[in-house]
Amino acid sequence: MEIRALKIEGLTVFYGKRCALQNITLEVPRGLVMALIGPNGAGKSTLIRASSGILPLQSGKIRTNGDEFSSLTPIERARVLAVVPQAVALPPAFTAWETVLMGRTPYLNFLGQTSKTDEDIVRHALQRVNALELADRRVGELSGGEQQRILLARALAQATPILLLDEPTAHLDLQYQVALMQTICQLAHEDHLAVMIAMHDLNLAARYADSVALLVQGRLEAVGSPAEVLTPERISQAYHLPVQVVPHPFQQVPLILPGG
């Protein structure tokens, strides 16, 4: 089976003189959810952005499906990698439907005309995230959770094998956090997407991710299964906070508790 995936090799990114990411090497195969965790400022968002090709790289390569990402045109890139950003400052006047339709851009002709196929895909994407009834509502009227689902639907409409998410649970209520993570797991496991998701909630990461990558100050401290990475020593050191890691009461995953 051909593993078509996202390979990040030796990625280094500078913001001015400051090194934001140093020599990051990661691989996200299809069918897998990788959680990027780390304290604020560690570089999680930067890694997401750099992987999507919108930041200049000091050094390193990104490979998607074996191709060098930088050699692809913007349209080609958009067909292979989609990003779900945080739901902030979205244009309020577009409806949810119109917003999700934007995700079809890489497949439209130069005038931006959509076909029935595009509309079917949009409808399907909205159903997937349980937001079809929001289709005609203006995005500005939607709640944070609803907006985030719309953005996920948009990325789905882009129909890419690789999906990157930048802290999608950041401002969501608990039920939305869980619903979102469950949907993402489905997408990875059932639709065989390669999913990399930056998140700050360690327990959510432990519960839903297949693989966890810990970023601290731009460096990749550890990558592996949740149990491997989420050890008390590592977490305490990374977050400057003593933590305890206990087995989760009903799931086979670690549970991180602050306080030593």
Q: Which of residues 126-145 bind another protein (CB under 8 A)?
A: 138, 140-141
Candidates 19, 57, 108, 170; binder of another protein (CB under 8 A) is 108
**Helix ranges restricted to H, the chain:** 44-51, 74-80, 96-102, 116-128, 144-157, 174-191, 202-208, 226-229, 232-239
- Given the complex with another protein, which of 7 and 104 has the nearer CB atom? 104
Taken in order 238, 241, 247, 249, is the CA torsion positive or negative?
negative
Angstrom distance (rounded) from CA 110 to CA 123: 22
If one asks whether residue 57 binds another protein (CB under 8 A), the answer comes out as no
Q: How far apart are CA 192 and CA 5, in angstroms?
A: 10
CB 104 within 8 A of CB 157: yes
89 binds another protein (CB under 8 A): yes
Q: Could you say which of 31, 103, 161, 218 contacts another protein (CB under 8 A)?
A: 103
User: How many H helices and E strands in the chain?
Assistant: 9, 12
Q: Does 158 bind another protein (CB under 8 A)?
A: yes
Name residues contacting another protein, limited to 2-41 (CB under 8 A).
Answer: none
Q: How many residues at the interface with another protein, by CB under 8 A? A: 34
Q: Which is nearer to another protein, 102 or 227 (CB)?
A: 102
- Interface residue with another protein among 31, 53, 161, 168 (CB under 8 A) is 53
Residue for token pair 């990114």: 13
Spatial separation of the C-alpha atoms in residues 249 and 203, rounded to whole Å: 13
**Binding of another protein by 110 (CB under 8 A):** yes
Give contact residues for another protein (rule: CB under 8 A). 49, 52-54, 56, 73-75, 77-79, 81-83, 85, 89-94, 98, 102-103, 105-106, 108, 110-112, 138, 140-141, 158
